[in-house]
Structure 1
Amino acid sequence: MGFTMGLNLLLLMAMVATNILSLYHLSSTIQTPKSPAPQPVPDHLIHQLHTIRATINHLTRHHPSPPATTKAAKPTIPSDLLLYSQLSPIASSCHNHPELLHKYMTYTPFSLCPLDSDLAESLTLRGCHPLPRRRCFTKTPPKPTSSLPQDPFPSSLPDANVLWTKYSCKSFSCLNRQNLNLGFDPPHEVVNFMTYKSELDLPIPQLFQIAKAANSVLRLGVDIGGGTGSFAARMKLYNVTIITTTMNLGIPNNEVVALRGLVPIHAPLQQRLPVFDGVMDLVRCGHAVNRWIPVTALEFLLFDADRVLRGGGYLWLDHFFSKGADLDKVFGPLIGKLGYRKVKWATASKNDSGGLKNGEVYLSALLQKPVSK
């Protein structure tokens, strides 16, 4: 209905413009009776008429006005675009969750914002990336520490710099007791990405050797689903800038990335990377990128990684896991669509209980984007 009204308004404006032009031409002819020949219409007016006519033809061809007695038919939308609108945070996805969006946008202006980052995250994971609240103040910790560590692997993380209200644990020591591998104990994380335990591992020194042998440089990168930012922290010690996309999901991942002096990007896996085309040297996909992602969403993710990588840049799939048969029939061919050079391609069985039950395997792959296509 709104589009039809807009189209009718455009047609009306075009009609008025045409009449004005005709009246202008007619008045010019009347005011010069000594010239029997009609005055030519100026070129710029003819150009305007052609533009109006072309616009009307384009709109009526793609969106014809419905008969007065029938309702407007919905335009046909490609199925892949419909799927992407559900997976990617664009405005149309917010229409599917009006109650959550209304709850999120209900707040008292000029006061403190509600402590509901989990609500915003729920919307984001559903493909709705709401606009930030514009007229309330973000709450900060009441007594944060006066200084923050420069070392990305500090001996401890300051509890006072986190708002713990929405988390079940109220301290980093609590999180470490639950699971030391969550990434909240920097001294425990310091050895990650540095040792070679199996063919699946790619230690950072070896990564730099590979890049140097290819006469390539590593300066900028993205770590997709990077948790608390341990990969970015280690690369910082090599003077490489890595931004980390991460979600909290009940634990303060984003806060910890920032406490380590790194850049967190609060974004789900299906979101378009907030990076310009062809500017990254490296994109790493960690354990969060695995077979649980819908195949179409994974395809979007891989091609968005290709979008931000420069020619000669590297895509690193680090311990991607899937069923063995799916790796051969689905994910291997999907990765192959990129046409990248295989620098490393190693597989091994996933030997935990879930991996044994589902016949899963790990894939670690380092792929280099062609310099030109």
Structure 2
Amino acid sequence: MTLNLLLLMAMVATNILSLYHLTSTTLQSPKSPKQPQVPDQLLHQLHTIRATINHLTRLHPNTPTLTTKSPKPTIPPDLSLYSHLSPIPSSCHNHPDLLYKYMSYTPFSLCPSDPDTAESLILRGCHPLPRRRCFTKTPHKTIQTLPVNNPFPSLSSIPETMILWDRYNCKSFNCLNRQNPNLGFDFERESSRHVIYKTELDLPVSQLMQIAKAAKSVIRLGVDIGGGTGSFAAAMRRFNVTVVTTTMNVVAPYNEAVAVRGLVPLHVPLQQRLPVFDGVLDLVRCGHAVNRWIPVTVLEFLLFDVDRVLRGGGYLWLDHFFSKGVDLEKVFAPLIGKLGYKKVKWATANKTDAGGVKNGEVYLTALLQKPVSR
């Protein structure tokens, strides 16, 4: 209200000064054909008023100016939300306590063993700079051997002393497997994943390669989003396809497990922009981590970022995406359809576990091909 009143007074003052100058000039020389000269003092006053209005307008961009009849458009709310999830540290100021804790260390000594703090920041959209003056902690025992050219090694062949187990309740892969065999840490068991066809929801890697070959398309490079311990990348390695895996160490050493298998882990969350250049990938797979729990806005940005990194003719594979049946029909299917990709495979089935039955959830496996040109 105060700002509007101030702008109104400035406009009135400008008009009064202009009217006064024109009237006085006319009375003094009514027959003069020459263009009247504006006094320097009046020009100075007009410039001062205009500068004040422009300054206030910059502070409040939605306030109308003298030359605009309608307010400037505001930023769409979707973009405002995603600004807090961007790969730049735009959200760090929202979490000063976590950031202070992360950056509190003794220079030229060992870095604190607190990866949980770093991941807490990352998952909140704050990607802090690395600690530049402390040394990363390493295991006390020297690693003698690592599995070579075998992405499905036996647990007995892995020197588990190479992993820092301090932050975890389990101190070995065997312990993790006993707690939950579906976490992916039994690498020999994982060798059968992405290989066997059991239901319509499955897409064995061999079938994927046949589909690409029939379409005269080549698969050489890919990213597995939320790929856990890297089992998909391991399966694709058998076909000489290079796949990097995005994964987080939320409850277990997933990044270390991927590296143990001779594969490349990317420590990035789902909402981060993929650290890949435009149009260079042949395949992007979204695993079990990509599901209905992701906010729709974030999922939309994820899908369009996938479109950014895929080349023309590349493939997007949604592997066992689950959601409520009604949401798949009304929300997620239309969202996926915005990409305009060709549906090579689109299969759905009811999710039969307790949570799936209770919530009316369904699985979707979709293989979609990006248009060659647009």
TM-score normalised by structure 2 residue count: 0.80
Match of 2:112 among 111, 114, 118: 114
Partner of 2:286: 285
Residue 132 of structure 2 is aligned to residue 134 of structure 1: yes
Partner of 1:318: 319
Q: Alpha-carbon deviation of 1:88? A: 2.2
Partner secondary structure for residue 281 of structure 1: strand
Measured at CA, do residues 84 and 64 of structure 1 come closer, stay the same or move farther in structure 2, by a change above 3 Å?
farther
The 1-side partners of 2:196 and 2:245 are apart by 22
Q: Alpha-carbon deviation of 1:138? A: 0.4
The 2-side partners of 1:173 and 1:145 are apart by 19
The 1-side partners of 2:147 and 2:108 are apart by 33
Deviations 1:144-173 (A, max 9, x none): 421211111111132111000111111111
Partner of 1:335: 336
The 1-side partners of 2:336 and 2:173 are apart by 38
Partner of 1:80: 78
The 2-side partners of 1:180 and 1:368 are apart by 33
Partner secondary structure for residue 367 of structure 2: strand
The 1-side partners of 2:175 and 2:302 are apart by 34
Higher Cα Rg: structure 1 or 2? 2
Partner secondary structure for residue 311 of structure 1: strand
The 2-side partners of 1:228 and 1:354 are apart by 24
Measured at CA, do residues 141 and 64 of structure 1 come closer, stay the same or move farther in structure 2, by a change above 3 Å?
farther
Residue 361 of structure 2 is aligned to residue 360 of structure 1: yes
Contact preservation (8 Å) 1:229, 1:262 = yes
Deviations 1:202-227 (A, max 9, x none): 00000000000000011000000000
Partner of 1:90: 88
The 2-side partners of 1:64 and 1:320 are apart by 51
The 1-side partners of 2:353 and 2:133 are apart by 49
The 2-side partners of 1:260 and 1:196 are apart by 24
Amino acid across the alignment from 2:241: V
Partner of 1:256: 257
Amino acid across the alignment from 1:221: G
Q: Alpha-carbon deviation of 1:72? A: 4.1
Partner secondary structure for residue 357 of structure 2: helix
Q: Alpha-carbon deviation of 1:77? A: 4.5
The 1-side partners of 2:183 and 2:132 are apart by 33
Matches within 5 A, 1:216-231: 216-231=217-232
Partner of 1:153: 152
TM-score normalised by structure 1 residue count: 0.81
- Unaligned ranges ≥5, structure 2: 1-50, 63-73
Partner secondary structure for residue 66 of structure 1: helix
Q: Alpha-carbon deviation of 1:85? A: 1.5
Q: Alpha-carbon deviation of 1:238? A: 1.1
Residue 65 of structure 2 is aligned to residue 65 of structure 1: no
Matches within 5 A, 1:126-205: 126-150=124-148, 151-156=150-155, 157-205=158-206
Amino acid across the alignment from 2:98: L
RMSD (Å) for aligned C-alpha atoms: 1.7
Q: Alpha-carbon deviation of 1:74? A: 7.5
Amino acid across the alignment from 1:166: R
Greater shift, 149-158 or 323-332, is seen at 149-158
Amino acid across the alignment from 1:285: C
Amino acid across the alignment from 1:81: L
- Unaligned ranges ≥5, structure 1: 1-59
Q: Alpha-carbon deviation of 1:178? A: 0.4
Partner secondary structure for residue 90 of structure 2: helix
The 1-side partners of 2:302 and 2:59 are apart by 36
Contact preservation (8 Å) 1:166, 1:250 = no
The 1-side partners of 2:207 and 2:80 are apart by 42
The 1-side partners of 2:113 and 2:256 are apart by 15
Q: Alpha-carbon deviation of 1:73? A: 4.0
Amino acid across the alignment from 2:180: N
Partner of 1:39: none
Amino acid across the alignment from 1:224: I
Partner secondary structure for residue 111 of structure 2: coil
Q: Alpha-carbon deviation of 1:79? A: 2.3
Q: Alpha-carbon deviation of 1:237? A: 1.5
Partner of 2:234: 233
Paired-residue identity, %: 73
Between Structure 1 and Structure 2, how many residues are aligned?
A: 310
The 2-side partners of 1:223 and 1:240 are apart by 12
Deviations 1:119-144 (A, max 9, x none): 00000000101111011100011114
Amino acid across the alignment from 1:172: F
Greater shift, 226-235 or 150-159, is seen at 150-159
Partner secondary structure for residue 120 of structure 1: helix
Partner of 2:213: 212
